[in-house]
Amino acid sequence: MKVILIQDVKSLGKAGQIVDVNDGYARNFVLPKKLGLEATSKNLNDLKLKKQHDDKVAAENLADAKELAKKIEAIAVNTKVKVGEGGRSFGSVSSKEISEELEKQHSIKIDKKKIVVKDAIKNIGTYTVSVKLHPEVTASLKVVVEGM
With respect to CATH, is domain 2-65 assigned 3.40.5.10? Answer: yes
Q: pTM for the full model?
A: 0.72
CATH assignment of 66-147? Answer: 3.10.430.100
97 vs 79: CA distance, rounded Å:
8
Alpha carbon separation from 110 to 62, 79, 107, 144 (Å, rounded): 16, 16, 10, 18
- Amino acid identity, position 43: N
Q: Which band of pLDDT confidence, cut at 50, 70 and 90, is reported for residue 116? A: very high
Spatial distance between the Cα atoms of 21 and 2, rounded to a whole number of angstroms: 6
Alpha-carbon span 20 to 1, nearest angstrom: 6
| Mean pLDDT, rounded, for 5-29 | 93
Task: Let me know: does 148 contact 84? Beta carbons within 8 Å.
Answer: no
**Domain range summary for the chain, segments of one domain joined by +:** 2-65, 66-147
Give per-residue pLDDT as tens, 54-69: 999 999 999 999 999 9
**Does this chain's domain 2-65 share its CATH topology with 66-147?**
no
Q: Is the pLDDT of residue 87 over 90?
A: no
